[in-house]
Amino acid sequence: MDDVVIEKSGAILLGKNFTIDGYSNRSIRVVTHAHEDHMKGLRRSIKDSIFIVATPITHEFLNILGYHIPNEKIIKLDYDKTIDIMDEKITLKKSRHIAGSAQVVVETNNAIVGYTGDFKLPGTEPLKDLDTLVVDATYGNLKYQRGWADWDALAALMNLINEYSNKGPIYIYGYNGKLQEIMVMLRERGVNNRFLADEKTLKMAQIASNYYGINLGNASIYNKELVDVDSIIFIHSTRYQNFNKLEGVHVLLTGWELRGVAVKVDENQFNVSFSDHATFKEIIEYIKESNPKRVIIDGSRSQDPWYIAKYLSKVLNLKVDVQPIFS
């Protein structure tokens, strides 16, 4: 039996007992972080699996998002702590993605295997001494390479806030994790505008602010009666169409904006190219430093997985596969 398999559902199977970031009929479900595409089938896993493993912060996020896991099934695993379960060892390693996100290492009787989860550089220490490494390659083609750093994107967002503050409310759209990270970074850089967000987003932001050691400051649950000229409202990207016609400036945070670090797309509407995922070059840098015996590109969550697989095979002379294979 192969120690690593990626199913078409996106479930990453490590060893004999672990299913990661997707449902499979296994005893232990691991959640690397609280993003929708990594929580697929979680309610079924809560019902069928013996344990749900995640970092303490990810477990807090899951609870806020409505995943109520029985206490006897919860394993809150801190970074760099190894536990033995069913004759296999699991360790979670820190990754830079969102608060609580983790890489996974599983040691079986036959091999040491790992999964990067979502990550970006700098700030993620590559997994080493692995027989097989499963890699997230969201931006798996050089054509998706951004020509700027996250700090440039943050500076562009700050410039928009400075320009439009006190002229009307500013609406910022992103996904869970990204929104909370931006809220914390803005506070860290002296932005004192009142923050408004829905209850779940705000609760997650309060957890993230404690994690990063930053005071969230003046922040309230969104109510349209509270919106004024210096408000910054944080909204999940899926609700963009519900809000983007309201008076004010609207900023969508998206790593898929490749035309520039900040692009005006309509009157008072901007895209800022901020991403929580490694660029193509960062993925290559990670794999070079990791130097596993074998690489598997997660094709269920990657753009152009075969492109980066061929690059790694030809340029780095690595043994590389793509899973799953969709017909």
Q: CA 118 to CA 33: how far, in whole Å?
A: 8
Q: CA 314 to CA 174: how far, in whole Å?
A: 36
* pLDDT tens digit sequence for 191-226: 999 999 999 999 999 999 999 999 999 999 999 999
How are strands ordered across the β-sheet holding 132-135? 82-85, 88-94, 102-107, 112-115, 132-135, 294-298, 319-323
62 bridge partner residues: none
Question: Can you give the pTM of this predicted structure?
Answer: 0.94
* pLDDT tens digit sequence for 37-95: 999 999 999 999 999 999 999 999 999 999 999 999 999 999 999 999 999 999 999 99
How far is CA 6 from each of CA 22, 41, 151, rounded to the nearest angstrom?
9, 15, 34
| pLDDT given at position 325 | 81
CA atoms within 13 A on the CB side of 180: 27
The mean of the pLDDT values for the chain is 95
Task: Tell me the domains of the chain and their CATH numbers.
Answer: 4-143+277-323 (3.60.15.10), 150-272 (3.40.50)
| pLDDT given at position 326 | 73
DSSP state letter for 144: G
* pLDDT tens digit sequence for 133-164: 999 999 999 999 988 888 999 999 999 999 99
